[in-house]
Structure 1
Amino acid sequence: MKAPLLLILTVWLNAQYGGCAPFSSCSRSPMEWCSSLDSAIQCGVLKQCLESNFTRSHQAADPINVGLYYESLCPGCREFLVEVLFPTWLLLNDIMTFTLVPYGNAVEKPDGQKYIFECQHGEQECLGNMIETCLINMTRAAFPIIFCMESSVDVINSAKSCVEVYSTELSWDKVMSCAKGDLGNQLMHLNAVKTKALNPPHEYVPWVTINGEHTEELQKKAMSSLFSLVCNMYKGTKPPVCGQGQRHFKSYCHNE
């Protein structure tokens, strides 16, 4: 079973307002509540997990894929990821998928069998990009962890605690081994390749694609109300939450 973010939000709200919270015997992180039948029973969310899986199995159309090409320390990227993309996915994850590519306006230079990266916002941003790239490769809980990082005052120094909150099975040492080693270097190179292959080429970040396509019209719609854009583009039976809107954002880091 896949851990639904809407389920996590619902259970949390129930607990806050007098409803039923997950059982005290639940030792798993929220992202793992629906990872197995035993986990769902132990955490007291079996009914919700089964209902969520039933809903997904009856979707009649392909989900809308939202691609985000971004930088970990770009203010506009952080704003879009935290205030627009993550909440939209939280509510629409039954009809929406996402692709995160942390690279943005970085520059790649070959160095023997490896690559050296120079980032628009300095070495700390390169480290943030690398950590988030490794997380995407290492765990299904990557998006909540990245959301936790990007919504924190200090993106880099919050990473360890964010991993510990959202993934009980992922070792921070393994994350940093990836970020500092050959695997992370190659994964970042792939991000560079994906970013350079954009057509049209990106001019700023956040750069948004919808089902692999980027136009200025789609970008504007995504920035003004990604929620409405996904709902309107989805061709299957729309979930009840469709029809709401979000704030307008116009903050970018230009490719200099």
Structure 2
Amino acid sequence: MKVLLLVVLTVWSNFGCGFSYSCSHSPSTWCSSLNSAIECGVLKQCLETNFTRSRQTEDPVHVALYYESLCPGCRNFLVGMLVPTWIMLQDIMDVSLVPFGNAVEKFDGKKYIFECQHGDEECLGNMIEACLMNMTEAAPEIIFCMESSPNVIKSAQACTSVYHPDLSFDSVMKCVKGDLGNQLMHQNAMKTKALNPPHQYVPWITINGVHTEDLQNKAMASLYTLVCSMYKGTKPEVCGGAQRHYRSYCRNE
């Protein structure tokens, strides 16, 4: 959680942003309304971002991560690379998270049963994260918080309360234990099984629906560079695109 906050503060400070500690909104919703932009001290940046988005004519680069909630390599990539890159490049980048990985799915006649590589705790983590993605737009921040914590499962409730205080964690667990969570995880299983080529390990990354070892290696090395290079539209400033200058002088004649 502290790491994400540091990343967000660093990114916005690069744009000369004044940050308000009274902000009660998750970073992904700062620009969702005039009130939230003002409360979080980013009105100027939101107006500039909306202007930039209005000029984007190409589809965003879509990055999908197929992962497991307790896989060390998955956690490192999600926390250290994927979410920070998404925060900086969300104008030109879409993200899909698919928690399932190397799990095995069986149907007992009534519901799906899942066996996970790192045990029942991982199945629970996968299910919590699948339900969060179905219930809130703040899911990336909550999942980042969970995956960067020493204990992914125990931090879930606290992370949810920080990034979506209006979302009852009881409702999340109702999803986890009910038919909805079971179906959401089945959908993740089907998405994972449909991968072409089939996944051989996790984290497994696709870019615009495509997986190659070259794309995987580039994403693991610097997803930021890869997304900027693959975006076909006008590069935003954070990718080293055309810079806008605000200085204006009235010379003494």
Tell me the TM-score normalised to structure 1 length.
0.85
Matched, 1:239 2:197: no
SS in 1 for 2:165: coil
Aligned length: 235
CA contact (8 A) 1:23 1:42 kept: no
How much has 1:74 moved relative to structure 2? 0.3
In structure 2, stretches of 5+ residues that fail to align are 241-253
Which of 206, 227, 230 is the matching residue for 1:230? 227
AA of the residue aligned to 2:95: F
- CA distance 1:219–1:21, change in 2 (3 Å): closer
Matched, 1:140 2:137: yes
- CA distance 1:38–1:240, change in 2 (3 Å): closer
CA contact (8 A) 1:6 1:91 kept: no
CA RMSD of aligned residues (A): 2.3
SS in 1 for 2:107: strand
Separation of aligned partners in 1, 2:196 and 2:79: 26
Residue identity over aligned pairs, in percent, reads 71
**2:85: which partner in 1?**
88
Separation of aligned partners in 2, 1:58 and 1:113: 50
CA contact (8 A) 2:26 2:138 kept: no
- CA distance 1:101–1:220, change in 2 (3 Å): same
Separation of aligned partners in 2, 1:43 and 1:91: 17
Separation of aligned partners in 2, 1:90 and 1:23: 19
How much has 1:46 moved relative to structure 2? 2.3
How much has 1:12 moved relative to structure 2? 6.9
AA of the residue aligned to 1:107: V
**1:221: which partner in 2?**
218
How much has 1:231 moved relative to structure 2? 1.0
- CA distance 1:234–1:29, change in 2 (3 Å): closer
**1:58: which partner in 2?**
55
CA contact (8 A) 2:69 2:125 kept: yes
SS in 1 for 2:150: coil
In structure 1, stretches of 5+ residues that fail to align are 244-256
- CA distance 1:6–1:156, change in 2 (3 Å): closer
Separation of aligned partners in 1, 2:41 and 2:221: 38
**2:20: which partner in 1?**
22
SS in 2 for 1:163: helix
Alignment of 1:24-39 (within 5 A): 24=22, 26-39=23-36
AA of the residue aligned to 1:110: F
SS in 1 for 2:237: coil
**1:114: which partner in 2?**
111
CA contact (8 A) 1:29 1:168 kept: no
**2:245: which partner in 1?**
none
Cα deviation per residue 1:74-133 (whole Å; 9 max; x = unaligned)?
000001111111111121111111110000000000022310000000000000000000
Matched, 1:9 2:6: no
Q: Which has the larger radius of gyration?
A: 2
Separation of aligned partners in 2, 1:235 and 1:174: 41
Tell me the TM-score normalised to structure 2 length.
0.86
How much has 1:170 moved relative to structure 2? 1.2
Separation of aligned partners in 1, 2:229 and 2:39: 38
Alignment of 1:51-200 (within 5 A): 51-200=48-197
Separation of aligned partners in 1, 2:95 and 2:30: 21
How much has 1:193 moved relative to structure 2? 0.4
SS in 1 for 2:238: coil
How much has 1:29 moved relative to structure 2? 4.3
Separation of aligned partners in 1, 2:25 and 2:116: 36
Matched, 1:41 2:42: no
AA of the residue aligned to 1:188: M
**1:202: which partner in 2?**
199
- CA distance 1:92–1:11, change in 2 (3 Å): closer
CA contact (8 A) 2:101 2:192 kept: yes
Separation of aligned partners in 1, 2:39 and 2:149: 31
